[in-house]
Amino acid sequence: MARKALAKADTPDVQDTLGYVLYRMRRFDQAQPHFESAYKANFRDPEFLFHMGLNESKLGQKDRARELLEKALTSGDLSPEERSEAHKVLG
């Protein structure tokens, strides 16, 4: 279903959604191109940065994950649950 949505609306927010669905399915390598596509389109929504940061962490890209998660945290727009998870990943 998400792939059908992507075909209809290839926008950064749809790329983020599909990437996050794949992340939640533990398909980190498959999620990465969707996050990269949104990032290359200059999408910088805090929740997107959070999602991409989580995925980068799972791929072992600790420095990149830290950069993205810190940007997401400084925005002040994450939910308390997201903030908590970001802090856990950051250590």
**CA distance linking residue 12 with residue 45, whole number of Å:** 10
- Count the domains in the chain: 1
Give the residue numbers spanning the domain of 6: 2-90
> Model-level pTM?
0.89
Least Cα distance to 32 among 46, 45, 20, 47 occurs for 20
In this prediction, residues 14-20 reach a mean pLDDT of 94
pLDDT digit string, tens, across residues 65-87: 999 999 999 998 999 999 999 99
Q: CB of 61 within 8 A of CB of 36?
A: no
Residue 40 has pLDDT above 70, yes or no: yes
CATH of the domain at 35: 1.25.40.10
**CA distance linking residue 2 with residue 68, whole number of Å:** 24
How much is the pLDDT for 10? Answer: 80
